[in-house]
Amino acid sequence: MANPKPKRLYQVWNGNNRFFCGGRLIFGPDVASVFLSTLLIAGPSCAFCYQVIQKIHKYEMHESRHGALAYTHIPHFFVLIVELMITIANLVFLFLTSGRDPGIVPRNRTPPESESDEALDSSSPSMEWINGTSPHVKLPRTKDVLVNGFIVKVKYCDTCLLYRPPRASHCSICNNCVQKFDHHCPWVGQCIGVRNYPFFFLFISSSTLLCFYVFTFSWLNIFEDKKKYGNSLWKSMMGEILSLVLILYTFIAVWFVGGLTVFHIFLISTNQTTYENFRYRYDKRENPYNKSILENFRDVYCTKIPPSLNNFRSWVLEEVQVESMTNNPCIDIVCPKEKMDLELGRKPGSSNAPISNALKKLEYSASHDNMKVNDGSEEDEVIPFAFPIIQHPIVHVRRDSNQCCMVTDGRVSDGDADEGSSPNQSSYPLHSLRK
């Protein structure tokens, strides 16, 4: 068997992220929306700059024609320079938000060890199956963590195989757990978390400022040219059609980015995230993270951004991924005729196909005797755990996707696949699964 080739971490990353520049830039799966946002910002800004340059050129032509230097075009230079500065800053904040690690929590390869042996025999509703390769290992779905004197429950993530840190959540779009998860923003194509939230707020606030700036000076341009149209505002608006389009565009856009800016000012002042605000409603109970308004703003902009927990350019060994069969609802596994060496923990002839410790401790003699057909023939006997670990099983989906199958005490049970599944399930004999 050939040795696995070393690869960069970003090349074998299990999330849905898009990497560029050798893993130095990390985007979400909807990275194309960044170019759309860039176009929506740069397009109107270029149109505004073109209009200002046309004004400057017109004033210069007028002054040269009359042989006098009135310097009436100088204020327009300041308008142009300020607009360019706001636009450039806005685009920089956009790429700083979308092109960096938002605070991705590294995944575990295996579930954490149970804190006590009692967890293995617990049948309380809070104990659930968490790993298809070790179905007899149980861990609590939630844990209690003390934060600022308050008890906060943290959830177990079945995808990342870890207990999420406080305020972290799993993004279904990027398929990552993110520290201090706020939301997944489609306009920047990235999750908003602890490492890019300051830049995200600067992006939306500078977008709001840019809208107000273009809106104001477009109106001033229309009022300035009223004299050319006989002091008629309507005729001046029709004569300066580009200014009118910019006024309408910025008026619509400011309701979105301006409202978002005001909302996030409220969130920062109360030390909440968008996810927490919509899910937990801290107005009904005390927020364990809330401090004074000044301290909350200081936490966002006067504290150092934590370093990334992942070195996406580090070298790792490419490994064969083993699918967890708990994700397949109500499956029938057609076992191959090859038997597995249970004592050594691997299939004969393979170099390394380890079996979990939970499987090694199981007693197979009782189940072996109960797996005969009614006539007692050996040919229809089901070989327990006879499928190789590396080989993908042949799957036949039964019934609906809300039900799954699990093996317990020699019987196959139908149980709810959701997190809050009940321990009361119907069952049918294990010999219904045939070779």
Per-residue pLDDT at 181:
97
Per-residue pLDDT at 281:
67
Per-residue pLDDT at 32:
93
Active site residues: 185
Q: What size, in residues, is the chain?
A: 435
Per-residue pLDDT at 93:
98
- Chunked mean pLDDT (size 10), the chain, 435 residues: 80 93 94 95 96 86 65 80 97 97 93 58 45 56 87 91 94 96 96 97 98 96 83 86 95 97 97 90 78 94 94 81 37 35 35 44 45 44 39 41 41 41 40 40
Q: What pTM, to 2 d.p., does this model score?
A: 0.69
Which residues on adjacent β-strands are paired with residue 104?
Answer: 178
Per-residue pLDDT at 425:
43
Domain limits, the chain: 6-104+186-301, 118-164, 324-435
Per-residue pLDDT at 250:
97
Per-residue pLDDT at 202:
97
Per-residue pLDDT at 70:
55
3-state secondary structure the chain: CCCCCEEEHHHCCCCCCEEECCCCEEECCCCHHHHHHHHHHHHHHHHHHHHHHHHHHHHHHHHHHHCCCCCCCHHHHHHHHHHHHHHHHHHHHHHHHHCCCCCECCCCCCCCCCCCCHHHHCCCCCEEECCCCCCCCEEECEEEEEECCEEEEEEEECCCCEECCCCCEEECCCCEEECCCCEEECCCCEEECCCCHHHHHHHHHHHHHHHHHHHHHHHHHHHHCHHHHCCCHHHHHHHCHHHHHHHHHHHHHHHHHHHHHHHHHHHHHHCCCHHHHHHCCCCCCCCCCCCCHHHHHHHHHCCCCCCCCCCCCCEEECCCCCCCHHHCCCEEECCCCCCCECCCCECCCCCCCCCCHHHHCCCCHHHHHCCCCCCCCCCCCCCCCCCCCCCCCCEEECCCCCEEEEEECCEEEEEECCCCCCCCCEEEEHHHCCC
